[in-house]
Amino acid sequence: MLTISRASMPIPIPLQIRAARMDDIYPILRLHCEAFADKFGAAFGVRGTARGIEAMAEAWRRQGRSALRGMFVADSDGLVVGTISLRTWDMASDTSGAAEIAFHQVLGVWGAVRSIFALSLLDHTIERSEGYITDVAVLARYRRNGIARALLDHVEQEARQRGKKFLGLYVSASNTPARRLYTSAGFVDYRTRRSWLAGLILHQRSWIYMRKDLA
């Protein structure tokens, strides 16, 4: 159990970083909807995020525990206040079609095609020696309290235990606070990915792949 202090308040926050569980699905998705509003809006429409959450929840239920493999949550007195995922090359992607079936069921054919396309725009091929980080998110009212940094430190230790040589992640070039956080944690700009499709759909054309060597 960690204890951190809010930057603006002296009251310490109890914090436990643990593996995500199936009963965390809705808290995680609501948090992601808040933290990744542009992505959710592009995938499901500004007025369709509630249905999008239902579609993703149904997909995760169909996939079972493998859907949350590598995901960790920051838990403060039973409230999920942050998330992070550590992906490795050996974590098999869903080949059963569970996500597609769930999306078709909840969103219809066109809605499923649109959402799956939008959510796959930043797909990344993970190297064998890489720990790939995604889903870094903290509830708005809990930000700037060291939670994101604690999550990063946790998955770094996980990656080291798995023998990974480096960490990698993508961040929007315009997301200055996130880039500052990752730089302070030892990440450096490695390459820039530009996509007119990402610019059109996600309203962010340039994405920076940042990397941290673990040697």
Which CATH number fits the domain that encloses residue 23? Answer: 3.40.630.30
Write out the DSSP string of 145-207.
SSHHHHHHHHHHHHHHHTT-SEEEEEEETT-HHHHHHHHHTT-EEEEEEE-HHHHHHHS--EE
| pLDDT at position 116 | 85
Q: Which of 141, 156, 147, 146 is nearest to 213 (CA)?
A: 156
pTM of the predicted protein model: 0.88
Domain region containing 189: 2-213
Angstrom distance (rounded) from CA 127 to CA 203: 28
User: What is the C-alpha separation between 199 and 122, in angstroms, rounded?
Assistant: 11
Domain count for the chain: 1
Q: Which two tokens stand for residue 185?
A: 């944690």
Tell me the C-alpha distance between 164 and 208, whole Å: 21
Grouping H, G, I as helix, E, B as strand and the rest as coil, residue 45 is coil
Please report, in tens digits, the pLDDT of each residue of the chain (215 residues total): 666 655 544 457 889 999 999 999 999 999 999 999 888 888 888 788 999 999 999 999 999 888 999 999 999 999 999 999 999 998 866 655 888 899 999 999 988 988 888 888 778 999 999 999 999 999 999 999 999 999 999 999 999 999 999 999 999 999 999 999 999 999 999 999 887 767 666 667 788 999 999 98
Q: How far apart are CA 178 and CA 189, in angstroms?
A: 12
